[in-house]
Amino acid sequence: MIMKKITAKQRGKIQQEIFTWYKTNQRSLPWRTTTDPYAILVSEIMLQQTQVDRVIPYYERFMRTFPNWEALANADKRTLLQHWSGLGYNQRALRLQETAKQIVVEGGRIPKTEEELCKLPGIGPYTACAVLAFAENQEVPVVDTNIRRVLIHKLKLSEAIGKKELATIAQSLIPRGKSRIWHNALMDYGALHATAQKTGIASLSKQSKFEGSERWVRGKMVKMLLNQESLSLRELKKTMKHARLKQIIQKMEKEQLIVKKEGWITLKEER
């Protein structure tokens, strides 16, 4: 497949249009008031598969309690999960804490390359690039579902375009020295203006039904364990009635999120 070439004229036109729109339509989001890599990473992990409006209060409360790497690294599991419960994917919080512990060991220094960031727990290529763009202003492509839609719409690309090719095109559009503001502008343009409904461009993955899902069961179990010391396995089976409950419990044990002993389940405490 021949990669689409973006001319200087096209690049300038798109940049001007996006920045002009952004000047009067940008969203006010708490993680945009800082370039602290810690705060940026917390927001990015929270925003994974979770709506922006839902994340804001969780982010603000989390940052008040755990304002830096050290505070998060030293947090007890129960307090950490209390601040995360409701966002879903509680394992994200535990991986984030593992990353904090590693960063503290390194003297608070976070890696400055995608390759090194991806070696940290729970950080993949997208999150790594987001941290580099928003914290360090590095000219790396950050392509979420909104930016993907904007690029396909504006450049008349095929919806079947591969991630690698799209990332190359995205990188070619980044204005020199303006990666942070450019990516914020693209995200807002996609979220508020060039929406899926307006453009007809579908997301790569459809959101699966939440209630009754494994994610829902896991979230319910953690929430119950945050309100009481232990859960009876017998009562849990009566309450949940999920076909894969046994497998879910086994997976949570393997992740060291819970402990099962003599018919009871408790949170695995580390302190």
For 201-228, give the DSSP string. Answer: PPPSSPPPP-TTSHHHHHHHHHHHHHHS
Q: What is the reported pLDDT for 164? A: 94
For domain 8-28+138-199, the question of CATH label 1.10.1670.10 is answered with yes
Marked catalytic residue, from 17, 44, 116, 165:
44
C-alpha dist (Å) from residue 88 to 39, 43, 45, 91: 19, 14, 11, 9
Q: Quick one: 36-136 is in which CATH superfamily?
A: Hypothetical protein; domain 2 (1.10.340.30)
d(CA 4, CA 14): 15
Domain coordinates in residue numbering, the chain: 8-28+138-199, 36-136, 214-267
Digitized pLDDT (tens) for each residue of the chain, 271 residues in all: 556 788 999 999 999 999 999 999 999 999 999 999 999 999 999 999 889 999 999 999 999 999 999 999 999 999 999 999 888 888 999 999 999 999 999 999 999 999 999 999 999 999 999 999 999 999 999 999 999 999 999 999 999 999 999 999 999 999 999 999 999 999 999 999 999 999 999 877 655 556 667 888 888 888 888 888 888 888 888 888 787 888 999 988 888 888 988 889 888 876 4
d(CA 46, CA 81): 13
The pair of three-digit structure tokens given for residue 6, joined into one six-digit string: 């973006």
What is the b/e burial string over 75-110, where b = at least 16 CB atoms within 10 angstroms of the residue's CB?
Answer: bebeebbbbbbebbbbbbbbbbbebbbbbbeeeeeb
**Which candidate, 258, 263, 265, 260, places its Cα nearest to that of 77?**
258
CB 42 within 8 A of CB 48: no
d(CA 183, CA 185): 5
User: Is there a catalytic annotation at residue 44?
Assistant: yes
CB 201 within 8 A of CB 149: yes
